[in-house]
Amino acid sequence: MARSDRLIEEFKQCRGPFPYKDLVRLLAGLGYVETSTAGGSRRRFVREATGHVIRLHEPHPGNEIKEYMVRQIRALLVERGLI
């Protein structure tokens, strides 16, 4: 199983916090590019092929996104047929 496939499976099975750096890798593997925002901890990921945008805040002071964000992002990716 490829590393990206394992990451997708981990994300699909996740029932708690998920490491932000792994989310960034997962989104990059699905064709999303992080674009700059006005500043602060706001982040925007754009899938260039479709123009779909995912907006979120980079976690701080920790480095994991909360469970509710995992559920929301997972639902978006499943809805779009990406995972």
pLDDT tens for 9-27 read 999 998 889 999 999 999 9
Q: What is the CA radius of gyration of the chain?
A: 12
Show me where the domains of the chain are located: 3-74
| Six token digits for residue 55 | 């907006």
Residue 39 has pLDDT above 70, yes or no: yes
Residue 8 has pLDDT above 60, yes or no: yes
Q: What does pTM read for this prediction?
A: 0.88
Q: Closest Cα partner for 33 from 46, 52, 50, 16?
A: 46
CATH number given to 3-74: 3.30.920.30
